[in-house]
Amino acid sequence: MSRRRQIYEGKAKILYEGPEPGTIIQYFKDDATAFDNKKKGTINGKGVINNRVSEHIFTLLGHIGIPSHFIRRLNMREQLVKQVEIVPIEVIVRNVAAGSLSKRLGIEEGTPLPHTLLEYCYKDDALGDPLVAEEHIACFGWATQEEMQDISAMAIRINDFMAGMFAGIGIKLVDFKLEFGRLFDGDFSRIILADEISPDGCRLWDIETNEKLDKDRFRRDLGGEAEAYQEVARRMGLFPEGGISEVLDLDSERKKRGK
Ligand code: UDP
């Protein structure tokens, strides 16, 4: 890792300069945070799983024509992506009421929504990523109206695809967060999907039991978070070669040797 220049360290990932101009390496950590960084911990093997889950989902989305920054996975914890200018908006896609929506509007968690709801939050840790309206986004120039049209259309297509994919493996896609970026080509730029899609940024409930299979296990001190991430990966059919535990054992061995 030290051979590369670090560009940025976030809560769950480290970004390194990529091998060619215009590329970046995303390194997935096991670190977990919640409630604006007030709760901190680690989820064993999370980085390995999120790298794989995100690779899988971005690849499938590519097949249905959703452009993304993903180029290829490099190893257990790293993937090569295109460098983009991140749009400072978190797009929250909701199918079922949960989390901040339930709290804000007093709607019981688990209530199905009559149609998919898109919400936008301004990406600013110091402000706690406040909810904003499209008018704020246009007013403060965070994204143009054209860009927001592309973003919302892509978010709906991504949700349709992912909700179906997860339903097929007995998982309810309650809500999730997306981030987009601008890919520049000379003076022009286009919007592509960026960041990651993993159980860190999705609410995933077992369809039969409503058991939580995502970061809420960590946020709400439910325990079993590492097992929940593994269960999602297992149902997705990832890690076919020797199973997840073998891959995670190899990863912890490498970590020990590296440190
Ligand atoms: N989310 C996220 N990062 C954030 C905020 C939300 O990944 O900074 C995801 C979260 O995991 C959930 C969805 O977006 O799947 C909706 O989150 P919500 O607004 O309910 O906030 P929370 O309850 O997580 O504070």
Provide mean pLDDT across the span 69-84.
98
Smallest CA separation from ligand 1 atom 21, residue: 100
Residue with CA nearest ligand 1 atom 7: 201
Ligand 1 nearest atom to the CA of residue 119, by list position: 19
- Predicted local confidence at residue 259, as pLDDT: 58
3-state secondary structure (DSSP) of residue 155: helix
Please state the atom number of ligand 1 nearest to the C-alpha of residue 176: 15
| Nearest partner of 135 among 145, 127, 146, 125, judged by Cα | 145
- Lining residues, ligand 1, CB within 6 Å: 90, 92, 98-101, 129, 175-177, 201-203, 215
Q: Residue whose CA is closest, atom 25 of ligand 1?
A: 100
* pLDDT > 80? residue 113: yes
Give CA–CA dist 97/106, Å, rounded: 10
What's the mean pLDDT when you consider all of the chain? 96
Lowest mean pLDDT among 126-135, 147-156, 225-234, 236-245: 236-245
Give residue-wise pLDDT tens across range 168-212: 999 999 999 999 999 999 999 999 999 999 999 999 999 999 999
CA 110 – ligand 1 centroid, Å: 15
Q: How far is the CA of 195 from the centre of ligand 1 (A)?
A: 14
Q: How far is the CA of 196 from the centre of ligand 1 (A)?
A: 13
Tell which wins on pLDDT, 2 or 81. 81
73 pLDDT tier (thresholds 50, 70, 90): very high
Distance from the alpha carbon of residue 130 to the mean position of ligand 1, in angstroms: 12
Residue 246: Cβ-neighbour burial (10 angstroms; 0-12, 13-18, 19+): exposed
Distances (CA, A) of 115 to 81, 111, 132, 148, 154: 33, 12, 20, 19, 16
Separation of first and last alpha carbons in the chain: 11
Going from the Cα of 197 to the center of ligand 1, the distance in angstroms, rounded, reads 12
The protein residue whose alpha carbon is closest to atom 10 in ligand 1 is 201
Residue nearest atom 23 in ligand 1 by C-alpha distance = 99
For residue 201, the ligand 1 atom closest to its alpha carbon is 7
